[in-house]
Homo-oligomer: A and B are copies of this chain.
Amino acid sequence: MARLPEYLRALHNLAETGHETVSSEGLANAAGVNSAKLRKDLSQLGSYGTRGVGYDVGLLIDQIEYVLGLTQRRAVALVGVGNLGHALAGYDGFASRGFRIAALFDADQERVGEEINDLVVLHIDELPRVAAEESIAIGVIATPAAAAQRVADQLVAVGVTSILNFAPCVLSVPDGVDVRKVDLAIELQILSFHEHRKASLTALPAAGGSALTALPGGLAVTESQEAIGT
């Protein structure tokens, strides 16, 4: 499930604050989900809490980390050292949560050789060589949209089977390769939609006016407060 990482983060917080056990209710609050949902998710793990007490924080962390495949520190290749790539290369959240940025690549010779966080930016053509030396299963694309598909192909060619794509475009990859997309502008646009909706609702208590004016009110938005969908 896609919620496990959120549970894991909440659990680490709890562990740091000295909690040894936690109830489903407590963990659910910390992770921002329903307690029944959380229990069902954890039961899928084969995890066992103790009735009347709750879950053992340390044990649960181990279990989730195992299921997520975080027992080994996975090597990640980051392609595209522009504005966003720079930030990602320097983001310590990766290192602290089970990942190691193994190499930085860029197609721009201007950027090749630059050093970020003790890592030197390599030219993208060096990707096959580096991939042969280190086992890289995850690639991060932080290039402009125009270059993203080409980079994806190159990553797949050297054996990468999971890609995190920050470029605003759809990637086509072979079966067996997973792609997750993060588009920062889209996130804002979704918020803008809710803004517009809220504004329309307060301005027009009873829906009326032209077809266009009635549109946003007509769109059914089921439940979106505190959407944790990423």
Which A residues contact B (CB, under 8 angstroms)?
1-2, 4-6, 8-10, 13, 30-32, 44-46, 63, 66-70, 74, 76, 83-84, 86-88, 90-91, 93-94, 96-99, 137-138, 140, 161-164, 168-171, 173, 175-199, 211-212, 214-216, 218-220, 224-230
Let me know if B191 and A94 touch, CB within 8 A: no
Bound complex: CA A84 to CA B138 (Å): 21
Let me know if B199 and A69 touch, CB within 8 A: yes
Let me know if B198 and A46 touch, CB within 8 A: no
Kindly identify which residue among B4, B170, B185, B218 contacts A31, using a CB–CB cutoff of 8 Å.
B170
Known contacts A66-B212, A227-B180, A230-B230, A191 near B164 by CB under 8 Å: yes
Let me know if A67 and B215 touch, CB within 8 A: yes
Kindly identify which residue among B2, B137, B229 contacts A195, using a CB–CB cutoff of 8 Å.
B137
Kindly identify which residue among B30, B32, B91, B97 contacts A189, using a CB–CB cutoff of 8 Å.
B97
Known contacts A191-B162, A193-B69, A230-B230, A46 near B178 by CB under 8 Å: no
| Nearest CB of chain B from residue A199's CB, rounded to whole Å | 7
Q: List 14 interface pairs A-B (beta carbons < 8 Å), by A numbering.
A: A4-B193, A44-B218, A46-B218, A63-B212, A67-B193, A67-B216, A74-B192, A84-B87, A87-B88, A138-B188, A180-B229, A181-B230, A186-B230, A187-B230
Known contacts A94-B184, A137-B195, A230-B182, A70 near B175 by CB under 8 Å: no
Q: Which residues of B lie under 8 Å from residue A185 when comparing CB positions?
A: 5, 93-94, 96-99
